[in-house]
Amino acid sequence: MPPSPTNIADEAIIAFENLADKASGILNPSLRLGVTGLSRAGKTVFISALIHNLINDGRLPLFEAKRAGRIKAVRLEEQPDDAVPRFQYEDHIRALIGKRLWPDSTKAISELRLTIEFESASAWSRMFSAGKLSIDIVDYPGEWLMDLPLLEQDYRTFSENAVKLASTGSRRPLGANWTALAAGIDPDAPADEMKARDLAVAFTAYLKACKDDKHSFSALAPGRFLMPGDLDGSPALTFAPLLQFADGRPAKGSFHAMMERRYEAYKTHVVKPFFREHFARLDRQIVLVDTLQAINRGPEALADLESALGDVLSSFRPGTNSFLSSFFTRKIDRVLVAATKADHLHHESHDRLEAITRRLVDRAIANIGRSGAGIEVLALASVRATREASVTRDGEKLPVIVGTPIENEEIGGEIFDGERKTAIFPGDLPENPDIFFDKRASEDLPSINAVRFRPPELEDTGGGIKLSLPHIRLDRALQFLIGDRLA
C-alpha cells in the first residue's frame, strides 16, 4: 500500500487544497504534472526541452494536437504558487543553446505554468470547453521520493532496513565507518549531541559514497541528507540508524530516544509537508530513469535501481478521478517511466533499452494497472546530443553515433577537449532483458560505451531564433502525458 498521511487532519488539509485547486480550475482548467527521477536522469533537461519545443513550434509529429494543427498558442504564465520557487527555464535554455552546457541538476522543488490554447477535435467539446489548458510543471528531486516509504516505517524498522542494505555487496565497505561508530553506541546511554552529530555525518558520507558515479546506487534514504538545504545542521537531520536498540520503549533522555524523536521529526517536518503540499496534488507523473548508467555499473547497481524504483512507484496514489471524487482526493491517473539518454545508443537498441526499463518496473506496472491508472514505459532523449552514422571496419559496416564529447571525457585513452566531434560504436544491448537480472550471467553481460556528450550545436534560422531542440520520442511522452486533455 502506498504511504499516506497518518491522521485525519492531514487528509482534511489535502482535501481542502484539492478543493481549492478544483474550484480555480473550473474557469481555468489545469493539470499538475510531476517530473522526477533519480540522480543524473535529466529532469531539468526534460522540462526545458518540453517547454522550448512547445513554445518554438518544435517538430513533434506524434503529438496529435500539434500534428493536427489544433494548437493555437503556447505561452508561459505567472506561477500560481507564490511559495514555490520558479523553474528557471530561461537560464537553463541559455545554458543548453547558448553555451552548449547541460544545466545544473535539480536541488529543490520548483514549478512553472505553461498554458496551451487549442481547438478541440470534437465539435461538441468546442461548444463547452474553454479551449485552454494550463499545465503546472512541478520539478522535484527524486531523492525526496525515496523518503515517502518512511511514512510507514518506525525508527526501528528504518534502522533495520538501512543496516541490512549496508551489509550487502559493494555497500559494505562504503558504510564501514558509520557501522563501526554505530556498533559502539549504547542505546540506553544518555543522549550525547556530539555522538549524534558524528554518527549523522558518517551516515551521510556513506549515502554520498553510494550515490557517487563509481557505484551509482539509487536506494538512498533519507533523501534530504544528500540535499539538506536550509535544514543543514538541524536536529531533524542529525540522526542515523542504530545497530542495537533498547528493550521495549527507550528511556526518556537516552540516546535511542533522541534518535527516534529526531527521525519522527524528520517525517513530520520534512516528509509529510512534501507529500501533503506537493505530491498529493499531482494529476500526472513522469519518472525519468538513467538505466544505462546502472547497466554500466553492473548487476548490483541495476538491482539497487530496481528496488529504488519499486519503492518510488509504490509511493504514488494511482487511480482514476471521477468528477465528484476529484474535488476531495486526487489520484495520479497516468504515470510515464522514461529511460533517458537514448541518443547514447544506436536506434536498433532503443527498444531493448525500453524492455530493460520495463523489466525494472514490472511489479509497479501491475500494481498501477490494477488501480485503473495508465502506465507507459519508453526510451527517450529529451535533447538529442548525437546523430547516427556508419563506419566500415575490416569490411564490416558498424552503426555508430557522432557527437562532441564533454571536455576531459576519455575514450580509449584519448582525452577530448570539448570541441572536437568523434564517432563511437556504443555497443548493442541484448534482445532478452532478463540476462541483466540473472546472477549466473553477471560475468557475461555486454557493456555500453557510455560517453557524455555536449548538447548539440544549433544554427540560427536567420532571424536570430534558434531551431527547436532535437529529441527522441519527446512527442510520444507529451502525447501520453497530456494528449487526452487536448482532444
| Residue keyed to cell 503546472 | 136
The residues, any chain, with a CB within 8 Å of residue 72's CB and separated by 6 or more, are 117, 118, 119, 131
pLDDT at 121: 84
Look at residue 299 and tell me whether its pLDDT is greater than 80: yes
Which residues is 192 bridged to in the sheet? none
Is 404's pLDDT higher than 50?
yes
State the Cα–Cα distance between residues 218 and 211, nearest whole angstrom: 7
Strand order, beta sheet including 374-379:
71-77, 110-118, 132-139, 30-37, 284-289, 334-339, 374-379
What pLDDT score does 328 carry? 46
Q: Determine the 3-state secondary structure of 146 from DSSP.
A: coil
**pLDDT value at position 324?**
43
pLDDT at 444 over 90: no
Asked if 428 contacts 349 with a C-beta cutoff of 8 angstroms, the reply is yes
Residue 22, pLDDT > 60, answer no
Rounded CA-CA distance 390/401 in Å is: 8
Mean pLDDT of 151-179: 95
Lowest mean pLDDT, pick from 2-6, 357-361, 400-404: 2-6
pLDDT confidence of 344, banded at 50, 70, 90?
very high
Residue 248 zone, left/alpha/beta (φ > 0; ψ -120 to 50; rest): left
pLDDT-based confidence at 3, cuts 50/70/90? very low
Give the per-residue pLDDT at 19: 54
Which of 104-118, 194-208, 282-296, 438-452 comes out lowest in average pLDDT?
438-452
- SS3 assignment, position 464: coil
Q: Give the pLDDT confidence score for residue 474 in this predicted structure.
A: 98
Task: Find out whether 289 and 38 touch, Cβ atoms under 8 Å.
Answer: yes
Task: Give CA–CA dist 162/172, Å, rounded.
Answer: 11
* Contact status, residue 354 vs residue 336, Cβ threshold 8 Å: no
Burial class (CB in 10 A: 0-12, 13-18, 19+), 61: exposed
Task: For residue 12, name the pLDDT band (cuts at 50, 70, 90).
Answer: low
Domains and CATH numbers, the chain: 8-140+278-384+473-486 (3.40.50.300), 153-273 (no CATH)
pLDDT band of residue 40 (cuts 50, 70, 90) is confident
The pTM for the full model equals 0.89
Please, what's the largest Cα pairwise distance for the chain? 77
- Cell numbers 568523434: residue: 422
Q: Are 281 and 32 in contact (CB under 8 A)?
A: yes
DSSP state of 381: B
Task: Give the C-alpha separation, 228 to 381, whole Å.
Answer: 30
Cell representation of residue 250: 527507550
The β-bridge partners of 379 are 339
Amino acid at 66: K
pLDDT at 245: 92
For the cut 70, the answer to whether the pLDDT of residue 7 exceeds it is no
Q: Which of 131-135, 274-278, 305-309, 439-443 has the highest mean pLDDT?
A: 131-135
Residue 4 has pLDDT above 50, yes or no: no
3-state secondary structure at position 251: coil
Sign of CA dihedral 313, 317, 321, 326: negative
DSSP at 98: I
- Choose the most confident range, by mean pLDDT, from 129-133, 226-230, 403-407, 442-446: 403-407
Q: pLDDT grade, residue 466 (50/70/90)?
A: low
Do residues 384 and 472 lie in contact, with contact meaning Cβ atoms separated by under 8 Å? yes
As a whole number, mean pLDDT of residues 457-482 equals: 81
Distance CA 180, CA 183 (A): 5
pLDDT band at 130 (very low <50, low <70, confident <90, very high): low
At 87-126, the pLDDT tens digits run 999 999 999 998 999 998 888 899 999 999 999 987 666 6
Q: 378 — phi, psi (to 5°)?
A: -150, 165
421 backbone φψ class: left, alpha, beta (φ>0; ψ -120 to 50): beta
Quote the CA–CA distance of 382 and 37 in Å, as a whole number: 13
Confidence of residue 24 (pLDDT cuts 50, 70, 90): low
Beta bridge partners of 334: 284, 374
In this predicted structure, the answer to whether residue 223 has a pLDDT above a threshold of 70 is: yes
Computed over every residue of the chain, the mean pLDDT equals 87
Nearest in space to 221 (alpha carbons), one of 178, 161, 262, 278:
161
User: Residues near 93 by Cβ (< 8 Å), separated by ≥ 6?
Assistant: 48, 52
Which regions of 17-163 does DSSP assign to beta strands (E)?
A: 30-37, 71-77, 110-118, 132-139
Task: Evaluate if residue 17 carries a pLDDT over 70.
Answer: no
Q: How far apart are the first and last CA of the chain?
A: 33
Better pLDDT: 24 or 413 = 413
Q: Is it the case that residue 326 has pLDDT exceeding 50?
A: no
Cell numbers given for 329: 482526493
pLDDT at 39: 74
pLDDT score at 387:
95
More confident residue, 310 or 155: 155
Q: Give me the pLDDT at residue 327, please.
A: 44
Cell numbers found for residue 2? 502506498
- The total of other beta-carbon atoms located within 10 Å of residue 416's CB is 20
